[in-house]
Amino acid sequence: MGRAGRRAGGEIVRPPLVARARRGLPAGLLCLAALCAASSPTTAEVVFDNPTSQILRNNYISGARAPRHTHRSGRFIFVLSGGTLRVSTKEPKEGSAPPEPGRPPELVLRERDILLTSGSASFRCPETHAIENVGSGEISVFEVEMKEADGSSCAPEDTVADPPQGEVAGSGQILFRNRFGTVLLHHVAPRETLTPAFPGHDRAFLWLSGGVVRVTMADGTVRLVPHHPGEFNWLAGGRETAGVNEGAAPIDAVEIVIERALPSRRIVIRNLD
């Protein structure tokens, strides 16, 4: 599943994450609570960026506000640490007359509170908003922006999980799936195998708990690969490898499979004669 400290087979990042303990959640989410550290009111960190995807970690302490900003692409969201976000948007005023040609419509500020549940996944289409953490604890989310899911291609039905939550792929439970990708949660007991879902696609792994995975390479060699809570891996399609949990404790990891990618560029050279 990658090799710590090396780029062969995937990009690896290990910044700290923040999570709050919740009863009934995977142990990996609970153990991330031990990594909590002082943070600024709002932090947004880009941990990976390529032509098809941008991956971010966003943390909001209680009372933190993020000013009005625009998400130009649809994005998958996995909630590491939940709470209540107040979302403010500007929308056309109901019942107002159509604007005169060349003039923008009359807008009014609308606020709504959204409850984010730890361990949940969703998909949001492009939007412009301001947000505030109105709860008592810190909120932390992991976002995967799909650059091709812009305003012209992202549709409301993309925000509805398909198939229903709870189905299994590889060794993971599907939390959310649409035509752009799939979010899965792996809970791998000792001596069991962590098997990536949907081979052949690019994917991101976020390790919620640490452990050692025994991987058998294509040439038959065996490697013991350590992973750490909060570690992030990006694996190109075809480089995903199953591995056995060699540790004494379960391993929890989130997998985001990118099911759509930019088309290959075609180069045509003319007038060579």
Whose CA is closest to 16, among 40, 36, 31, 42?
36
Phi, psi of 159 (to 5 degrees): -90, 0
Rounded-to-integer distance, Cα 5 and Cα 180, Å:
30
| Residue 11, pLDDT score | 52
| Residue 106, pLDDT score | 79
CB 13 within 8 A of CB 48: yes
Half-sphere exposure of 216 (CA within 13 A, CB side): 4
- What does the pLDDT profile of the chain (273 residues) look like in tens digits? 543 333 334 554 444 333 333 445 565 554 443 444 344 467 888 999 998 899 999 999 999 999 999 999 999 999 999 999 999 998 887 777 777 787 877 788 999 999 999 999 999 999 999 999 999 999 999 999 998 888 888 899 999 887 666 799 999 999 999 999 999 999 999 999 999 999 999 999 999 999 999 999 889 999 999 999 999 999 999 888 899 999 999 999 999 999 865 444 333 344 444
H or E stretch covering 27: helix 27-31
| Residue 207, pLDDT score | 96
Rounded-to-integer distance, Cα 30 and Cα 7, Å:
28
Strand order across the beta sheet in which 193-194 lies? 193-194, 243-245, 211-216, 222-227
| Residue 28, pLDDT score | 55
What CATH number matches the domain at 11-91+109-258, 2.60.40.650, 1.10.3720.10, 3.40.50.720, 2.60.120.10?
2.60.120.10
Query: What are the angstrom distances between the C-alpha of 6 and each of 106, 113, 159?
Result: 53, 42, 35
Whose CA is closest to 213, among 250, 163, 256, 181?
250
